[in-house]
A and B are shown apart, each in its own frame.
Chain A
Amino acid sequence: MSYQWLTLWRYADTFLSAAWLTLQVTLIAFALAVALGLISALAKSSPLALVRWVSHCYVEFIRNTPVLLQIFIIFFGLPSLGITMSAFTAGVLALGINVGAYLSETFRAGIQSVPKGQLEAAWVLGIPRRQVFMSVVLPQAARAVWPAIINNLIQLLLGTSLLSAIALPELTGTATVINARTLLYIQTFSIVTVVYLLFSNVFSWLGNVAGRRMFHPALVTSKKRTIGWCPKKWLSNSVKGGNS
């Protein structure tokens, strides 16, 4: 058994660079997704019907087709229209566009959760519209949907595995290459699974910490993403909380 793990130890560097690439794609695509989501959420309350319609079509089309198909359309479809890009760019673009549509709905729910009276109060106080959005609406909206935003980030992380289909050497793609060389399927997939679990739990932990520090009043999430053998007091938390 142990010689198999020794064989895989030779690929430690490959695994590490794959993990780094996964992280890079996740973070860059998430930045794009946040921008797209915010624009699309704002566009939905635009006075122009055309702008609203475009945003609506974007969200509905993306949310009702598989992300793998969207990756293929961008990577294999666009070159036939004269737009070529690397697997990295295509992957970031596809995942950013995909998660942007989900975030758009999340942001909109957040914006709608801010009581309308506050907007009227801000208007009466003569605060400029831009400032009202940035310092009244946005902080409260972000607090209301913060757990959903973190969930979207984790979904994006898990979605990067599909970029192995366009030969990007991220974690899953690297695992299949190493499998082909060593035939150690179980061991390779176990390593990759552990890395994904690590990343997703770190993201959700950071999200919880940020939620407690960033917002006022502090946001305490009852939902813990911890692995089975965690202390009992953490578990009772989720039963008490009754997440909605």
Chain B
Amino acid sequence: MSELIISALPTLLQGLGITLLLSVAAIIGSTLLGLLAAVLRTSGLPVAKQIAVLYTELFRGTPVLITLMFIYFGIAYFGYEINLFAAGILGLSIYQGAYIAEVFRAGIEAVPKGQWEVSWILGLSKRQTFMNVVLPQTRGIVLPPLVGQYLSLIKDTSIVSMIGMSELMHQGQAIVDRIGQPVVIYGLVSLLYFAVCFPLSRWVQHHQTRSQLS
């Protein structure tokens, strides 16, 4: 068994590298998208707000697998080609962005409205108010659930294997297809995912209880 593990480990670690790369790219994409959607939703601009609501409700009510397939096969359907890696980043960013938008919205709405008015009286522009007054205050409320969403994003990267991306999950499957031993290989794969996710989830738990106590 140890021989099996030693021979499988390099391939799995390579897969883990791709998983991490995909995760980081999608974390950046989904955070930007989520922040944009949250700003539009709380902005009060009639059409922009409606679009943001439609976006969050649409993706929070459909599976991530459908989103990924829609992007990957849908773009091919219209005769364009999209790189698998790009489709994965795009799909995960759009999907998690919808959840992250709700996280940011809760944070923005927790800041009292009076502060907007005070900033206006002090002569700050809307942009300045948002960037320098509102956003810094949301940190404590937003950060724990935000990292929680990153955690589920990292786990969701395994679903990109279903459209053929060779990340950690897919590499594990490939090894099982070749030499069998599903229990050992999938056990190893879960340990690798666990090693990445566990520290993050501990961090989230710690900070959640702290913010609840205060």
Residues of A within 8 A of B (CB): 60-61, 63-69, 72-73, 76-77, 80-81, 154, 158-162, 164-165, 172, 175-176, 179, 183, 185-186, 189, 192-193, 196-197, 200-201, 225-229, 235, 239, 242-244
B138 at the interface (CB under 8 A from A): no
* Contact stretch, chosen from B7-15, B48-56, B125-133: B48-56
Q: Which of B50, B65, B162 is most buried by chain A, counting CB atoms within 10 A of its CB?
A: B65
A186 & B50 in contact (Cβ 8 Å cutoff): no
B63 & A179 in contact (Cβ 8 Å cutoff): no
Q: CA A72 – CA B177 in complex, angstroms? A: 12
User: Hey, which chain B residues are within 8 Å of A192, CB to CB?
Assistant: 66
Mask of B177-197 contacts with A, CB within 8 angstroms, 1/0 = 000111100110110011001
- Contacts A65-B155, A162-B159 given; does A186 touch B183 at CB 8 Å: no
B169 & A68 in contact (Cβ 8 Å cutoff): yes
Q: How many A-B residue pairs have CB under 8 A?
A: 139
* Contact stretch, chosen from B24-32, B67-75, B86-94, B115-123: B67-75
Looking at the complex, which one of A64, A73, A244 makes contact with B194 (CB distance below 8 Å)? A64
- Across the A-B interface, the 6 shortest Cβ-Cβ residue pairs: A228-B54, A161-B63, A66-B158, A64-B197, A200-B61, A66-B155
Looking at the complex, which one of A81, A172, A185 makes contact with B65 (CB distance below 8 Å)? A172
User: Hey, which chain A residues are within 8 Å of B63, CB to CB?
Assistant: 158-162, 172, 196
B194 & A225 in contact (Cβ 8 Å cutoff): no
Q: CA A201 – CA B183 in complex, angstroms? A: 38
B106 & A243 in contact (Cβ 8 Å cutoff): yes
Min CB distance B104 to A, Å, is 13
Given contact pairs A68-B169, A73-B182, A226-B57, enumerate 5 new A-B contacts (beta carbons under 8 Å). A69-B189, A161-B63, A189-B73, A189-B74, A243-B106
A72 & B182 in contact (Cβ 8 Å cutoff): yes
User: Hey, which chain A residues are within 8 Å of B109, CB to CB?
Assistant: 239, 242-243
- Contacts A65-B194, A159-B63 given; does A72 touch B53 at CB 8 Å: no
User: Hey, which chain A residues are within 8 Å of B62, CB to CB?
Assistant: 158, 193, 196-197, 200
B159 & A68 in contact (Cβ 8 Å cutoff): yes
Q: CA A193 – CA B28 in complex, angstroms? A: 26
User: Hey, which chain B residues are within 8 Å of A159, CB to CB?
Assistant: 63
Q: CA A165 – CA B160 in complex, angstroms? A: 12
B197 & A161 in contact (Cβ 8 Å cutoff): no
B80 at the interface (CB under 8 A from A): no
Q: CA A67 – CA B66 in complex, angstroms? A: 16
Q: How many B residues are at the interface, by size bracket?
A: 35 or more
A179 & B61 in contact (Cβ 8 Å cutoff): no
Min CB distance B102 to A, Å, is 9
Min CB distance A235 to B, Å, is 7
Q: Which of A66, A67, A176 is most buried by chain B, counting CB atoms within 10 A of its CB?
A: A66
List which B151-177 residues lie within 8 A (CB) of chain A. Answer: 151, 155-159, 161-162, 169, 172-173, 176
A189 & B70 in contact (Cβ 8 Å cutoff): yes
Looking at the complex, which one of B61, B77, B193, B198 makes contact with A66 (CB distance below 8 Å)? B193
Q: Which of A64, A193, A244 is most buried by chain B, counting CB atoms within 10 A of its CB?
A: A64
B40 at the interface (CB under 8 A from A): no
B21 at the interface (CB under 8 A from A): no
B182 & A77 in contact (Cβ 8 Å cutoff): yes
Q: CA A107 – CA B187 in complex, angstroms? A: 28
User: Hey, which chain A residues are within 8 Å of B182, CB to CB?
Assistant: 72-73, 76-77, 80
Q: CA A72 – CA B64 in complex, angstroms? A: 18
What are 9 A-B pairs with beta-carbon distances under 8 A? Answer: A61-B194, A72-B182, A80-B183, A186-B70, A186-B74, A189-B73, A197-B61, A197-B62, A227-B54
B4 at the interface (CB under 8 A from A): no
Min CB distance B128 to A, Å, is 22
- Contacts A228-B50, A242-B109 given; does A73 touch B190 at CB 8 Å: yes
B82 at the interface (CB under 8 A from A): no
Min CB distance A201 to B, Å, is 6
Q: CA A64 – CA B186 in complex, angstroms? A: 14
Min CB distance A124 to B, Å, is 28
The closest CB in chain B to the CB of A230 belongs to: B53
Q: CA A63 – CA B204 in complex, angstroms? A: 12
